[in-house]
Each structure stands twice: as C-alpha cells, then as structure tokens.
Structure 1
Amino acid sequence: MIEAAMIWNEPNNKSHWDPELDPDWSIFGDLVKRAGAAIHAANPDVLRVLGGMSPIDASWVNRMRGHGAIDAVDVVAVHGFPLDWNLWSIHAWPDKIAEIEAVCPDKPIWVTEVGVGSFGAEEVQEFGVQKTAELLVGRVPRIFWYSLYDLPQEWGATTRHREAEGSSYYRHFYMGLIREDGTPKPSLDHYAKVAGEMGLMQWFHYHDPRLDDAVAWMKRLGTRHLRTGLSWADSFRPDALDWFDRQMEALQDFDVTVTFCFTPEHLGPGAHHTSPPYDTQGFADFCQQMIERYAPAKSRVEAHPALSATPDRAELAAAQAAVL
C-alpha cells in the first residue's frame, strides 16, 4: 500500500527545517542520503521522494544536487499555494513545474501539496480546485490536494511564528474541503469530479479522531492516492506503534505516500521538531524500520510471512535507545 516514502516536509521552509542550525542544508543533504539508502535497503520498490519544497526554488534543487541528495531519491516534489501564500498567479503552475524540470531533468516532478483555502470566500476555493485540476492533471504524475479537512482551531498550525504571521497564520485553518464541524464545502463537489486523478494530502495527528471518517469520505469520493505522515518525534511516545499500526491499517486500500519527518526535541540542538538531528542516521533507521513494518520487500515476506509485522516493539525500542 505504500507507493512512496517522502523524506521530510518542506525542508527549505523555516517552519519545517531550521536554517540557522543548517544554513547550507549540508546536514539535510546527509540526512537525505542516509534515509534514501535505508529506504532502498528495506524495499527497493518504494519510491523515494525528496521532501516537497516550499517555496519552489530551482537554486535550492541545485544546492541539494551538490550535496548528493538528488542522487539518493527517485522523485523531486514541490508544494504551491498561489492564492494563499505564494506571490505568483495560479496560472503560473506549468511554468513553476518547468523551472524544476529544467534543473532536474533526470527525475519526475510531483506536486505533493497544492491547495486553496476558503479563508476569504468559499467561491475562491471552488475556483482553485477547478483551475488546479485544469492546469496539473496530466501535467505531472502525482498531485495531492491539501487537504480533506479544515484544521481545528484549537490544534494550532505547524508553523514557526503562529499568530505573529497575521492572516497568513489563520489561512492554515481553512484549507480543507470539509469544515471543522464535518460539513462539506461547495468545493468538495468539484474535487469529487477529479478524485481519481488528484489525490489528497491529509496529516493525521496523534490518535486523530477523524481517521475513520476520512477513510469513509475518501472511498466515497473515489480518491486513490493519499499522502500522509509518520512522525519520528511521535515514535518516542509510549504507545506509538499502536497508533501507527491503526493508522496504516485504516489506509491500506489507498496508494500511500508516507512522509517521514519531525525531529524529536531531545535529539536535536534546537530542541524543536524543525531542528537538524544530532545524528542523521537515527532518522534513517526510523525510515527503514517503518518501511520494513508497513511495506516489506515482497521477497522477504514470501520467504518469511512473519516479517510483515516487523520490527516489533522491542526492536524499535532498542533502535531508539541506540540514538539517545
């Protein structure tokens, strides 16, 4: 069910990777190389995706190539929100894709987050769904609309400066096709028309109460491709594997791109999920363990069916102890 593994999320955005602690992204480049090798070792059929860049920046791609990170992945991903946060027109999507294709002709380009919020008006989001589909369906191999649900106000958005960002911060809470109270927005009907070609990106928070409803909605809509995440930081919670197992079992009927990200606070100098880790191999080990657990190589499972449930909790605990 895991089609691809994404290595981090928006690593050139300071809300997800701290540039003061890694100003040239050399630590991140090493993290990508190690994680890419680990994922490939666990299952060479799982596509490795370079965490979706935001902003879309060809010079950053060249920097990552210089660090050897492009050679460690199979796909390069971009994120774009032209009607909410980006200073370019939604009509520029084909040009933005072409900019990255020009510096990365050896890799397919995926749009792993694209969205338009209803913060200003729900009619704007309706237009955004329709125009995005018109511009991107058939242009790139994978598209993931962000998101199915509005973010609940009380949860807070994963961004560095929060309310200090003004309206930019509050837009985070209106990106869904379904309101916080569970009622659909008009844009959901427009998405349903392209659900087979345009997947969904939905973060599921730890023990997210929306998981089962989300699965039901996606099946009803005809969504085939889903992008979500497994948090390295969450893996240190006492019952982490119980939640991971429940999440991945619920999503087994979709082609999943799973995103691995978020540094545990005690494993990075920034004491924050955006911090580069002290040891990038610890993150790579987490990636490998998750692939071995949820997308084991077919040859291994056929030879040893019990491997479909490895690593067990003792193995994960031992691996975590090794990086403490």
Structure 2
Amino acid sequence: MIEAAMIWNEPNNKSHWDPELDPDWSIYADHVIRAGSAIHAINPAVTRVLGGMSPIDPGWVNRMRTHGALDAVDVVAVHGFPLDWNLWSIHDWPAKIAEIEAVVPDKPVWVTEVGVGSFGAEEVQVFGVEKTAELLLGRVPRVYWYSLYDLPRAWGATTRHREAEGSSYYRHFYMGLIREDGTPKPALDVYARHAEEMGLMQWFHFEDPRLDEAVQWMRRLGTRKLRTGLSWADRFRPGALDWYDRVMEALAEFDVTVTFCFTPEHLGVAPHHSSCAREPQMFADFCAEMIERYAPAAAPALPLAAA
C-alpha cells in the first residue's frame, strides 16, 4: 500500500519542527537516520523521502548532508506556494528546483506539495494549476498538488500564531480544489486534465469523514498518486490502529507516499507536536511498525519443485 515514506513534514518550518529545541537540526537528522534505517530494514523497496522542505533552502540541505541524514534517504523533497506564502514568483519554479539539484546531484528532487489558493479569487487558482503543470510536469519525477479539499474552518490550521498571522493564516482554508461544502471549484477541471501525471496531497485527520468521498473523487479525476500522512501522535488515541487500517485500505488502489510526523505530546522534549522526540528511536520504531503493517517486504518466491 505504501511505495514511499516521507520522514516528517516541513522540518525547516517552525510550524512543524521547533528550532528552539533543535537549532542546528542535528536532532532532526538523528530522527531521519534512525527512521530511514528502520524503514529500509523492513522493506528496502520503499523509497525514503527527506521531509519536504519549506522554504526551499539549499543551505539547509547541505546541513542535512553534514549531519549524515542524506545517507538515510533516497529522495529530497520541496514544497512551494509562490502565490500565497513564498517570496518568489511562480515562474521561478525551474530555478528553485535547480538550486536543490545543484547540492544533491546524487538524488532525485520531488515536489511533494505545491498549491495555489482561492483566497483572493478562484480564477487565480485556475491560473496556478495551469502554470504549475506547465513548469513542473516533466521537470521533476513527482508533483503533488495541495490539496483536494479546502480545510474546514472549524478544524483550524496547523500554524504557530494562528489568526495573528493575518491573511497568511486564512489562506490555509482555501487551498483545496473542492470547497468545504463539497462543491468543486473551477480549478478542479483544470487539475483533471493533468491528474494522471500530477498527484494529490491530502491530509486526513483522525476519523476524517471525507475519506471515502475523497477516494471517489480521485477515481473520477484519474488520480494515481497520493501523498498523505499517518500521525505518530494519533498512535496513542483509542482505536488508532483501526483508523490507520481504514485509511490504508481505502487508499490501497493508489500509489501512496505516506508522511510520518507529529510528536505525541507526552514523548516530546516539549509537549507539542512540533517538538523533537525525547527518544528519537521511538519515532523510528513507529515508522517501522507502519511499514511492517502496510508495506512489508514481499516474501521470496519458492523454487519450483523438480518434475
């Protein structure tokens, strides 16, 4: 069910990894090395992806190489939102990819989140899908559009300062191709023309009621590749394995890149999902458990009996 595993989400973004606890990312690198080794030990065929960086920063990648983390992954990933949050033009995508390729010539670069919201106007999102497809499809091996659904306003976005961020915060709720009420935006038809080549990135919250409907939409659209997440923090909820099983069973027909992230409060150096773990091996053990459960290595074929 899992073809690739991403080790954390946006680890160089303070909303997802606390730099005050790990200012040089050496602890994050330790998480990567341990998790990458654990995943490979269970199933060497699973592609290991360094947590998609945001912002796109070749200096941070070089730091990861210095710490030894790049030896534990097969792919380096980037995230970009040039019409919403980044301080560069959407036309700069090829140059941004080239910046990372220059420091990791030995590994492919995937774009595991790219998106344009409809916060200002839905026509802007239409342009965003078209231009993203033009600039990235064929340029990198994998592109995942963020996202299928708008984030429901009642759920809140995973950021540090929430409403105090102004419009930057509210843009989180308009990144989907489908509105919160379930109706499609104009950009959905544009995405459908590229769905065979452009995957989707969609988070499913614990017991997310949109899961089955999302599968139906992806079938209709012709989407083949999906990136999603399995939250380490959710592992300690009652019924966690039942929920994981339901998610992975529902997504079994797609090529899934799963993201392992979010620290359980009681296991963090600080009681927050963005904290590094007190014991990084516990995160690696979670990754190994999920790969063993959903992507175990195939048993070797038995030799044919002699006639």
Into which bin does the TM-score normalised by the smaller protein fall? over 0.9
Match of 2:282 in 1: 282
Match of 2:263 in 1: 263
Match of 1:306 in 2: none
**Aligned-pair CA distance for 1:240:** 0.2
Matches within 5 A, 1:238-317: 238-299=238-299
Match of 2:110 in 1: 110
Match of 1:54 in 2: 54
Match of 1:42 in 2: 42
2:181 counterpart of 1:181: yes
* Residue deviations 1:5-30 (CA, integer Å, cap 9, x gap): 00000000000000000000000000
2:93 counterpart of 1:97: no
**Aligned-pair CA distance for 1:169:** 0.1
Matches within 5 A, 1:131-170: 131-170=131-170
**Aligned-pair CA distance for 1:254:** 0.2
Q: How many residues align?
A: 302
Query: 1:187 and 1:167 mapped to 2: Cα distance?
Result: 21
Query: 2:184 and 2:215 mapped to 1: Cα distance?
Result: 15
Match of 2:224 in 1: 224
One-letter identity of the residue aligned with 1:161: H
Query: 1:196 and 1:269 mapped to 2: Cα distance?
Result: 42
Query: 2:125 and 2:99 mapped to 1: Cα distance?
Result: 26
Matches within 5 A, 1:8-47: 8-47=8-47
One-letter identity of the residue aligned with 1:102: A
Query: 1:164 and 1:68 mapped to 2: Cα distance?
Result: 37
CA root-mean-square deviation = 0.8
One-letter identity of the residue aligned with 2:210: R
* Residue deviations 1:43-82 (CA, integer Å, cap 9, x gap): 0000000000000000000000000000100000000000
**Aligned-pair CA distance for 1:4:** 0.2
Query: 1:21 and 1:293 mapped to 2: Cα distance?
Result: 32
One-letter identity of the residue aligned with 2:5: A
Match of 1:72 in 2: 72
One-letter identity of the residue aligned with 2:103: V
* Identical-pair percentage: 81
**Aligned-pair CA distance for 1:238:** 1.5
Three-state SS of the structure 1 residue aligned to 2:208 is: coil
Query: 1:64 and 1:164 mapped to 2: Cα distance?
Result: 32
Match of 1:314 in 2: none
Moved over 4 A (4+): none
Query: 1:174 and 1:238 mapped to 2: Cα distance?
Result: 31
Query: 1:2 and 1:244 mapped to 2: Cα distance?
Result: 12
Query: 2:140 and 2:299 mapped to 1: Cα distance?
Result: 31
**Aligned-pair CA distance for 1:2:** 1.0
